């Protein structure tokens, strides 16, 4: 269902349609302690304990242990997932987690000490950028438990594809830069000094618990000469609640007037997928492209939280929606 077209933005609302493609439950490698070297796919973990996932570590010989621990597992790339939007589902983790896919961070929920905040009741589903996928893959999960049960507690532990995901020409999921504040976008020249944040994902799960208000995302990429001749569309998934998007400082679209009143007038804005046309004169070969996204969140979850995030040519975008309508 095609929604409102505002300032070059086409908003399309639909639910995520996940399909399970690989079961990841069962025996994982496990160690208490904390060492960031354990995120590497090359780390030797054969002398670690073996633990069942999902289940609390207290039920598997680590009774009474509170603190840091790591999980690791390896798997072969499933067949027939090329061009699909891939996700890692880890169910419920008690209390805080940080997840690495082939050594690259793909998500975090809760806050580690010293600014500890639990996320034990959050359901973990993390997007896996296409460029991170290999034939042989390693998942490493850093966990902090404050009290009570700890670890990857429960849920369907699996790889998923999002059948409603849009196949991207350039995948922009992963680490972006982030800064809070109503006028953060005016500091975009210094974006490299901003905090790291995973996109897509609620900012509340990444160190900004209970934050409501204004913030800005930034991402820089170099324009490949192959896409200069194409009419390109920037996809930003779903944003809670409203957004305003700039490319190299030029406003290319927004989801209505960028004021709190828009959220009240358009209460479903958080559930609309964002798609913005990038004017041809902003695409120049071998030039860096700086994307900045202002966001206002009125309450609850905030930020670029789910959906396809990246660049797609207009031709591929039209073909995708035509084929989707035929399937429906």
pLDDT in tens, 272-303: 889 999 998 888 767 788 999 999 999 888 99
- Closest Cα partner for 73 from 58, 53, 87? 53
pLDDT of residue 89: 95
Tell me how far apart the alpha carbons of residues 92 and 153 are, in angstroms, rounded to a whole number: 6
pLDDT of residue 240: 92
Question: What is the pTM for the complete model shown?
Answer: 0.80
Where b means 16+ CB within 10 Å and e means fewer, 156-177 reads ebbbbbbebbbbbbbbbbbebb
pLDDT of residue 229: 67
**Backbone angles phi and psi of 152, in degrees to 5:** -80, 95
pLDDT of residue 16: 64
Total Cβ atoms within 10 A of residue 251? 15
Tell me how far apart the alpha carbons of residues 268 and 13 are, in angstroms, rounded to a whole number: 9
**Residue 82 or residue 86, greater confidence:** 86
**Residue 87 or residue 11, greater confidence:** 87
pLDDT of residue 217: 98
Tell me how far apart the alpha carbons of residues 136 and 236 are, in angstroms, rounded to a whole number: 29
Cβ neighbourhood burial of 282 (10 Å; 0-12, 13-18, 19+) = middle
Which is it for the CA torsion 244, 245, 251, 255, positive or negative? negative
**Residue 196 or residue 229, greater confidence:** 196
Pairing of strands 2-6, 9-12: antiparallel
Region 204-220 average pLDDT: 92
pLDDT of residue 270: 86
Local structure of residue 241 (DSSP, 8 states): S
pLDDT band at 1 (very low <50, low <70, confident <90, very high): very low
How many whole angstroms from its chain centre is CA 213?
20
Query: What tokens appear for 265 in the block?
Result: 């007038």
Q: Look up tokens 């204004």; give the residue.
A: 214
Count, residues in the chain: 328
43, containing H or E segment:
none
| Structural domains in the chain, sorted by start | 2-16+167-327 (2.60.120.260), 18-162 (2.60.120.260)
Tell me how far apart the alpha carbons of residues 224 and 226 are, in angstroms, rounded to a whole number: 5
For 140-194, the DSSP string reads: EEEEEE-SSS-EEEES--EEEEETTPPPPSEE--EEEEEEESTTGGGGGGGGGGS
Query: What tokens appear for 77 in the block?
Result: 């790339």
Does 7 have pLDDT greater than 50? no
Partnered with residue 93 across adjacent β-strands are 152
**Backbone angles phi and psi of 31, in degrees to 5:** -150, 135
Q: Look up tokens 């040519």; give the residue.
A: 313
Does 11 have pLDDT greater than 70? no
pLDDT band at 167 (very low <50, low <70, confident <90, very high): confident
Q: Picking from 14-23, 25-34, 59-68, 240-249, which range would have the lowest pLDDT averaged per residue?
A: 14-23
């Amino acid at each position: 269902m095609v929604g409102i077209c505002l300032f070059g933005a086409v908003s399309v609302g639909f639910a995520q349609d996940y399909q399970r493609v690989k079961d990841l439950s069962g025996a994982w490698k496990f160690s208490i302690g904390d060492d960031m070297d354990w995120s590497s796919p090359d780390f030797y973990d054969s002398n670690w304990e073996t633990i069942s996932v999902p289940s609390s570590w207290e039920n598997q010989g680590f009774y009474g242990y509170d603190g840091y621990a790591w999980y690791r597992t390896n798997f072969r790339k499933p067949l027939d997932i090329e061009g699909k939007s891939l996700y890692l589902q880890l169910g419920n983790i008690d209390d805080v987690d940080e997840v690495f896919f082939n050594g690259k961070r793909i998500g975090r929920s809760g806050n580690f000490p010293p600014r500890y905040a639990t996320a034990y009741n959050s359901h973990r589903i993390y997007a896996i950028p296409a460029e991170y996928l290999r034939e042989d893959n390693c998942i490493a999960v850093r966990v902090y438990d404050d009290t009570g049960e700890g670890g990857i507690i429960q849920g369907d532990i699996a790889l998923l594809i999002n059948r409603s995901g849009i196949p991207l020409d350039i995948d922009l999921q992963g680490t972006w830069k982030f800064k809070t504040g109503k006028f953060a976008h005016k500091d975009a020249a210094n974006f490299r000094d901003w905090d790291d944040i995973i996109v897509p994902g609620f900012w509340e799960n990444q160190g900004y618990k209970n934050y409501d208000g204004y913030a800005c995302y930034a991402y820089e990429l170099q324009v490949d000469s192959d896409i200069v001749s194409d009419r390109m569309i920037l996809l930003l998934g779903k944003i809670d609640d409203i957004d305003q998007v700039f490319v190299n400082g030029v406003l290319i679209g927004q989801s209505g007037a960028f004021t709190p009143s828009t959220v009240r007038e358009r209460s479903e804005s958080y559930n609309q997928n964002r798609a913005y046309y990038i004017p041809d004169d902003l695409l120049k070969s071998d030039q860096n492209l700086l994307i900045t996204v202002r966001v206002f969140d009125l309450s609850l979850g905030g930020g670029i939280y789910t959906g396809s995030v990246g660049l797609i040519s207009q031709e591929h975008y039209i073909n995708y929606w035509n084929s989707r309508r035929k399937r429906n």
